[in-house]
Every structure is written in C-alpha cells, then in structure tokens.
Structure 1
Amino acid sequence: MSNANILAFTVSDMTCGHCAKAITGAVLTAYPAAKVDIDIAAKRVTIENAGDRAAVASVIEAEGYSPVDA
C-alpha cells in the first residue's frame, strides 16, 4: 500500500498546545475523515486521509501558520 495519502509538514511557528489544537481543528473541519498527528517539539504535522498537499497547506495557512514540506 502506498503512503501517498500521508502528508507531512514542518510548521516552525507552531509552538504550543493551542497551536496544535487550532491546526487539528482546522484540518478536521475541512477533512472530517482525516487523522492528524502533531509533534509540537519537532514542529511536525502528519495528516492521513485528507486532500492534496496544497489544499491542506492552505487550511493550515488560513489559521495563521506557515507549513512547509517535511
């Protein structure tokens, strides 16, 4: 099985639990079936079963964060 449905971003301006909750909430609002895993210390967001990379990045950016490919 391919990992094509798994997206990973580094979000350097994600610094706390509030940030993680905001990003998770935004992604789940846009993609209710998504699985979001956040590692605040590593500033890494991994998302399964969501849209394409650009669309998911736009959702995170709309919350005020700056995702880049991990």
Structure 2
Amino acid sequence: MFLTFQRWEAASPALQKKLKECPMQFHIEKMTCGGCVKHVTQAVATVDPSAKVEADTVARKITVTTTASRDAITQALAADGYEATAI
C-alpha cells in the first residue's frame, strides 16, 4: 500500500505579510492639521515603512494598518511628540 501526499508550499512572503496586517485606531489630541498628519505618518513609518495611515484631523483620529504592535506604534508617536490613545 502506498500513500500519496500533495506537496505543501508555504505562503509567499507578500501573502504572509498581508495575513499579519492588523488595522488599529488611535486618538491623537494634538493632531490638528496636515503638517501633523505628515509627522504622525513619518513616526509610524519608523516602525513599519509599509504601514498604511489614514487620518481624520477633525476627529483627531488615525487608522493604521500595520504588522507592528500597538505598543510599538504608540511609542513611536510619543517619541515624535504625539501622545496617542488606542480606540
């Protein structure tokens, strides 16, 4: 008796990264203008250069889709002078 197994292949690195991305939201009281959004986006990029940042200056809220941890994002924002509260 012989058993036949299908060959298993790991997901591509791009797919693995996509599976690990997680959206998270933060309230940033000091984010009031486009310049602030630029600085916040740059701070997030220091942790994850491929992160996606969507900002709402009226609500003072950002949505970050990233593979980085919530703590890492919060610390990067704080280091740039933007205290963030997870929503």
TM-score, scaled to structure 2: 0.71
4-13 vs 39-48, which deviates more? 4-13
Alignment of 1:24 onto 2:41: yes
Pick from 71, 74, 81 the counterpart of residue 54 of structure 1.
71
In structure 2, what is the Cα distance between the partners aligned to 1:43 and 1:33? Answer: 22
Q: Which runs of 4+ in 1 moved over 3 A?
A: none
Q: What do you get for the CA RMSD once the two structures are aligned? A: 1.6
Instruction: Tell whether the 8 Å contact from 2:47 to 2:72 is kept in structure 1 after alignment.
Output: no
Counterparts of 1:53 and 1:25 in 2: how far apart (Å)? 16
Q: Which has the higher strand share?
A: 1
* Bigger radius of gyration: 2
Name the SS for the 2:64 alignment partner.
strand
Query: Which blocks of at least 5 consecutive residues in structure 2 are unaligned?
Result: 1-18
Work out whether residues 51 and 64 of structure 2, in 8 Å CA contact, stay in contact via their aligned partners in 1.
yes
Cα distance, 1:10 vs structure 2: 0.3
Match of 1:44 in 2: 61
- Using structure 1 for the length normalisation, give the TM-score: 0.87
Q: How many residues align?
A: 68
The whole-number CA distance in structure 2 between the counterparts of 1:43 and 1:22 is 14
Distance 1:26 1:51 in 2: 12
| Residue aligned with 2:81, SS | coil
Q: What whole-Å deviation, never above 9, does each CA across 1:8-48 have from its counterpart, x for those lacking one?
A: 00001111111110000111232111011011111001100
Q: Of the two structures, which has the highest relative contact order with CA contacts closer than 8 Å and spacing of 6 or more?
A: 1
